[in-house]
Each structure stands twice: as structure tokens, then as C-alpha cells.
Structure 1
Amino acid sequence: MFGIVRPCRHRLSDRLRTDWMAHLCGLCLALRADHGQFARVATNYDGLIISVLVEAQSPEATRAAGRRTAGPCPLRGMRTAPVARGEGARLAAAVSLVLASAKVRDHIADGDGALGRRPVAAAARRVATRWDRAGALTGSDLGFDTAVLVAAVDRQPDIEALAGRGTPLLTITEPTETATAAAFAHTAELAGRPANRAPLAEVGRLFGRLAHLLDAVEDLDEDARTGAWNPLLATGATLDEARRLCEDAVHGVRLALRDVAFTDGKLAHVLLAHELRHAVDRAFGPTCSHPASHPTNPYGPGTQQPYGNPYAQPQGNPYAQPHGGQPAPGNGPYAPHGGLNAPQGAHGAPQPLHPGPGHGGSDGDWFGGGGGDGGGDAGGSPGRPPRRRSLVPGCAVWLGLCCTCQLCCREEYHDPWSGDKRGGWCHKCECCECCECCECCECCDCSC
């Protein structure tokens, strides 16, 4: 899985997170349906934005018909889920195939890893060629000429060969900008909104610039070590210059989005207006994009809240107990109703340490132990410790979790040995330790 737009689940509301997953799964299933199982490796986070844009511009009736319920999948913890379908998902699949083909060719040219060996490179080159043809076939069915993408990919090596000290970075990013602009603009045609072509082309052009530059920044150290070609090293551009171009692109995307007529553009706005901001911070270093006047960032722009104990009381602990700090009866973490020192919920309400009976038993957590009689909590009682297993049974449960991809793809699973809740590897939070300092309003009805 690759891409620069990787939203943290803590920055999306439940509805937007469900919609995002629907487009991601829809892209994966569209690749399988049109091009076979192996094509699913081309699934990427950026390609699904094509599907998001088509749905965001479509009429309500079309939007409702553009979802279906997919069957259980190991990558979803063996759960069913609503997924996007239709022309938007198919266009996203075609674009993803062509761009994945370009990425493979780039790695072959650089001799990265196993692709530096001739037999492997030859096989990968055949796969890339097949993906080009498959993407062109699907694109032609949708009225989109993928020759624009292929021509941009073919033009890139010539531009890189001529680049040297002092070459503007925008000269090198031009093919990527042209390709993404064409793909974004065609979403307006599929949705029946031709007036959106111009602003969406601008969004796509700036998105392509960001994708190219952020990829170069993330690979900078590795390319310097291995001697691989990198636009920053080849042109002598500084990180400050690259960041300035990225900041300008993020601002330009936000301005262009204002001119796009959406039916429901909340998810598109979050991904393109806010998550691009986080992508830049992730590549160059974390900063908070809110101004000093923002109520959740009292430390000023470009700063993070200081590390330390987030529960420390500035005026002393109001729950400090007498008699040497011993908690009063009924005021501990295992008190019947949580007590004053119990973990607090989202609105300040005491939150139990363990879920109630049956929690987690219906969401496909077969191997991790959900609730109920065989769950991760012994008997499912709130006050009991999690169920523990010995070495051999724990290894068997771990193998089941691994084979069904729940270790990486589930948001939460129960540790095979201790029974404690763990976060899936693919759902590790990428935002700063205190998510409040970078959260945008859930409704996304902001003025940016």
C-alpha cells in the first residue's frame, strides 16, 4: 500500500472513515474484477481519491446506487462492509494500474532491491506493460484516454536525464502534474459536471506536484546512500525550497476546491484540504497548521503541545487523597462505577476498563477472543482481567490472526497470550501524541 494521503482514524468521524474505507475496498475489488487477483497489489491510498471525487460530484440518486455490500474479507477482519462501485471505482482502478506501472518502471531504472537483477527486472517489466494495456482498456470504456498518463511516464526519464544543478523542480514534476490533472478532470465528466473540469484539473496538477516532491523528500536519505537519482540531489534544491513549493501547492488545492461544485464534498475536502497538510508535515517534520488563535492550539502556529503527562494538574491533583495518598474506598480504578480516578470517556464520563458481556464477539474477532464465554475477557465481566493463554495455545491463536490478516488490518484485536487489546499494524496513529492540537472540525465546514 502506498500513497501520500493516509488519514489517521482519529482525524475522521465515523461516517467519513466508513466512506473512506468503502472507496479503498471498492478500488481493490474493481482491480480484481477487471484485471485479476494480482492487480490488487496496485491498490493505493491516492488512487481512491478519483473514486471519492466522482461520488462527491454525483447526484444523490447516483450516489445511493454506487454502493454495495461486499462479503467477508480477511483484510477487514472477516467482516462485510459497504464498498463503492461503478465508474468512479473503475476509473480509479485504471489510473492506479498505470501509475503503479510507472512506479515499477522507476524502480527498475534505479535498480532498487531485487529489481536490480536482470531476471526479476525483466519479469517486472512485463507486468508493467500488461498493466499499461489493462489500464488503457478500462480507461477507453470510461471515455478516458490513458495515453496521457503513459506519455507522461515515458517523458519523465528524458527530463531527469537532462536535469542538473539549477534545474527548477517544477520542470521535473511537470509530467506527474499533467497526468494527475487529466485524471482529476475526467471525474467531472463521469459525474456529469463539465463545469468542474478546470478547477479539478488545477487540483490534480498541484496534487501531482505534491506527490512527486513528497516522494523525493521521503526517499532522500536512502537515495543519497545508494546513489539513486533524486530530484533534490540532482538539482541541488534545498529542503526549504521543496517545502515552500509543497506549502504553495496545499494552499492552491484549497483555493481550487472552492470553485468545485460538489453534491457532498466533505470527504473530498478532508482528504485534499486537510490530509495533504498532514502529508507535508509527515515528510518535513510535524507542525500544527492551526493559527495561534485556534482554541485547540494555544502554543502558536508551527508548534506542538509540549510532551509530558497530559493528566497533570497545574494546580495540584484535585483527587489527591489524605493519609499518605491512599485512595479512599470506592475511589479507585476498580471501583464499582469507575471512581473519580477511572479513565474518562469522550465527554468526561467514567469509562470502564473492560467492555461488557459480548463486546467484540460479533465483529469477526474469531481468533483474538471477543466477548462472551470464549472472549478476551473471562466471562465478559467488566471487572475481571483479560483471558490469558499459555505458550502453545497462544501461538495457535497468533497463527490464526496472522493468516487472516487481522494483526495488520483490524483496528483492534486481542493479544493471543495476554488478551489485552492491541491496535492493528496498519492502523497505528500517525498524528501527534495529543490529537486535539491538529484536529479539524468534524463537520469540515471550515473556511479554508
Structure 2
Amino acid sequence: MAHLCGLCLALRDEHGHLSRLVTNYDGLLVSVLTEAQAPATSPHRRAAACALRGFKGADVADASQGVRLAAATSLVLAAGKLRDHIADADGPYRRRTVAAAAERVAARWSRAGDRTAAAVGFDTGHLTAAVEEQTRLERSCGLGLLEVTTPTESAVAAAFAHTALLAGKPHNQEALREIGRYFGRLAHILDAVEDLSDDRAAGAYNPLTATGTGLTEARRHCDDALLGLRLAVGELDLEHPRLVRALLVKELDRSVTRIFTMASPETRPDDPKHTKRRRRDPGGLLSMACAAVSCCTCGLYRAPWDEERENSCAQRFDCSGCDACGQCWQGCTACGEGCNCCGCDCNCCD
């Protein structure tokens, strides 16, 4: 949360409130990797109250080089995604007024991302080239799934590898480039699996449908990527490895299992073992309006696609016994969906 809020505040301070819309969980990994390699380069500060935190203060990552790189990559990739929606005339982007406004926002985000990236010595050409190549591949025929995911892999690899230079550990570059490739592949495939049924219903492009890839083959690619990513993370020279391992190894593995379980044909909607899928975020102006209402009501209102699943657990655990060396309190209990244990990287609750 410190990295998520730090990214959001860095976007606000450097590029205005509208740019905070590009805040995302994938982008903050850049900040996490930089701090894990060299904590001294990623100071924290106390932030003032924020409506999205229930008007509470918080410890957040300061606008260091890692956070600014995360902001730059988020802005450039968000601009590319907006332009892709405009080109495909998706949903509300069919309207000329909406498309024109979105194009202006995309141009603004692209310029802002370039400025911030230049300040930390990162060439955004890697990202823009990947977006353009992705668009070209999506309009081609006869490609395999891993050919379609290549641009995403290249973009993430470039951003992750640059964190080694920011942290003063260039020997980590190759391992980080491998981690970026595997993470980009996983993100692309998991997004495709999660959207498969909706894309089929809408007749929209989906990498799995376009390449004729079944869920079994897609899962095999994900398992291979998880293994490669786990080995690459083990090669990194990290001063604080716990959060990196928790996010890139443990949580990513859980995400793969959850998403493929929900997408499996054997999963019946009335099966009590599985929770109902949440409604998909429609994007566009409706999504922005709902986000604004949620912010103004301090989270009392939540859009239907952002609500917790009915059967989800409250996730309240007594981890008061966790200490700095990572030993979890023996009395920590879970409710069947897993226990965070305050980020401890031990397996007492597994």
C-alpha cells in the first residue's frame, strides 16, 4: 500500500489529479523492485489524509526514482491503451466527442510519461514500440500465443531491467529482464483468460481465440512462466527480498490458480465451492464517474464490478505477534481463503 499510494501521489504532484487514474498494481512493481535492491534509494514519508484511505494518513513511498519510473511507465502504457480503444471504437469510444477527448488525454499522458522517464534516464521508446507492435500483431493471422505476448514481455522487461540501474546494481539487469518477460507473459495470458467469456459474447479480440489456444495449453504456458520467474527471482541480489517474493512468487501463483479455476468449463455457476465472477469494469466515462463517486463518499459507494464477492472473508487476522525477522505468530488463523500474516514470508498459515 505504501508503494501504491506513493505512485498515486507522485502522479498527482507531477502531472495533476487526472493522471492518478493510471495508478495500477502492475506499475507499482517497478517501485517495489527498486526499493528491494537498494532501500536507501527509496525513502518513505508520512502522507496526509486521503479520501481513498477513509481520510487517514499513511506511510507512503516518496517520489524517488523508482516511483517516478513506475509513474512514467504507467502513463505511457495507459496512453497506448486509450489509443487502442479509440482505434477499435470500443464501447463509448465510438462517439466522436468521447474519442476526441480521450485522444487529448492520451496525448497529455504520453508527453507527461516521456518527461518523467527522461528524468530517470529511461527510454520510453521501448514502451511505445511495444504498443505499436502489439496492435500490428493483433491484426495479423496465423500467430502463436507466445508470439502475441512478445511485445508485452519486451515492454515489462525493459522497465524491470532499468530498476537495476536506478538501484546501482547493474549485475541484476539480466535476471530482471527475464523476470519482466515472464511477468509480461503471465499478465497478458491471465488477462486473456479472465476476459475470454466476455470477449466471446461481445465478439471482441482475445489472444486465446485469435491463436486457437485452449485453456490447457494456456495454463501450461503460465506454469512454465511461473517456474522461470521463480528461478530468476532467486538469482537477484536483493537487500529486502520479502515483498518481491510475496508478490512475484506466492501471490502470482495464487492468481494463476484462481483465474484458471474460474475460467474452467467444469466450474458450474451454482457450485458452492466457487464464487461468482464479478461484473467486468466497462471502462470509459461510466467507470470514471463511478470512481469519482466512490472517492467523494470515502468508499461507501462501490461500483458493482468493484464490490467484494459475497462469500469472501473479512480478512481480519490477529498477526500482532509478527516480528521483524519474519516469524509469524503461531496463533494466526485463516478462514479458508489464506492468510496474509502481515506480509511475513513464512508458511505457518499455509
Deviations 1:88-127 (A, max 9, x none): 1111100111121122223223322211222212221221
Matched residue, 1:6: none
Q: Which has the higher helix share?
A: 2
Contact 1:213–1:242 (CA under 8 A) maintained in structure 2: yes
Q: Secondary structure at the match of 2:45?
A: strand
Q: Secondary structure at the match of 1:162?
A: coil
Q: Secondary structure at the match of 1:264?
A: coil
The runs of 5 or more residues in structure 1 that have no matched partner are 1-20, 288-305, 309-399, 410-423
Rate the CA distance shift 1:219–1:307 in 2: closer, same or farther, 3 A. Answer: closer
Q: Does 1:180 align with 2:161?
A: no
Matched residue, 2:212: 236
Q: What is the identity, as a one-letter code, of the residue corresponding to 1:157?
A: T
Rate the CA distance shift 1:50–1:426 in 2: closer, same or farther, 3 A. Answer: farther
Q: Secondary structure at the match of 1:444?
A: coil
Matched residue, 2:192: 216
Query: Which aligned pairs between 1:148-163 and structure 2 lie closer than 5 A?
Result: 148-163=126-141
Q: Secondary structure at the match of 1:56?
A: helix
- In 2, distance between residues paired with 1:402 and 1:132? 25
- Pairs aligned (count): 298
Contact 1:136–1:147 (CA under 8 A) maintained in structure 2: no
Matched residue, 2:103: 125
Q: What is the identity, as a one-letter code, of the residue corresponding to 1:255?
A: L
Matched residue, 1:29: 9
Task: State, as a whole percentage, how many aligned pairs show the same letter.
Answer: 54
Matched residue, 1:55: 35
Q: Does 1:405 align with 2:306?
A: no
- In 2, distance between residues paired with 1:44 and 1:439? 23
Contact 1:180–1:208 (CA under 8 A) maintained in structure 2: yes
Query: Which aligned pairs between 1:36-435 and structure 2 lie closer than 5 A?
Result: 36-59=16-39, 61-63=40-42, 66-85=43-62, 86-164=64-142, 167-285=143-261, 403-407=296-300, 425=307, 435=335
Query: RMSD of the TM alignment (CA)?
Result: 2.8
Contact 2:294–2:300 (CA under 8 A) maintained in structure 1: yes
Q: What is the identity, as a one-letter code, of the residue corresponding to 1:49?
A: L
Q: What is the identity, as a one-letter code, of the residue corresponding to 2:52?
A: L
Rate the CA distance shift 1:427–1:62 in 2: closer, same or farther, 3 A. Answer: farther
**Higher-Rg member (1/2):** 1
Rate the CA distance shift 1:280–1:263 in 2: closer, same or farther, 3 A. Answer: same
Q: What is the identity, as a one-letter code, of the residue corresponding to 2:192?
A: A
- In 1, distance between residues paired with 2:194 and 2:148? 17
Contact 1:35–1:134 (CA under 8 A) maintained in structure 2: yes
Q: Secondary structure at the match of 1:219?
A: helix
Rate the CA distance shift 1:191–1:401 in 2: closer, same or farther, 3 A. Answer: closer
The runs of 5 or more residues in structure 2 that have no matched partner are 264-270, 274-292, 316-333
TM-score (norm. length: structure 2): 0.78
The CA deviation at 1:205 is: 0.6
Rate the CA distance shift 1:162–1:402 in 2: closer, same or farther, 3 A. Answer: closer
Q: Secondary structure at the match of 1:69?
A: strand
Q: What is the identity, as a one-letter code, of the residue corresponding to 2:257?
A: D
The CA deviation at 1:133 is: 1.5
The CA deviation at 1:445 is: 4.9
Contact 2:294–2:301 (CA under 8 A) maintained in structure 1: no
Q: Secondary structure at the match of 2:158?
A: helix
- In 2, distance between residues paired with 1:156 and 1:80? 40
Deviations 1:354-412 (A, max 9, x none): xxxxxxxxxxxxxxxxxxxxxxxxxxxxxxxxxxxxxxxxxxxxxx9973423269xxx
Q: What is the identity, as a one-letter code, of the residue corresponding to 1:55?
A: E
- In 2, distance between residues paired with 1:118 and 1:58? 47
- In 2, distance between residues paired with 1:71 and 1:440? 26
TM-score (norm. length: structure 1): 0.62
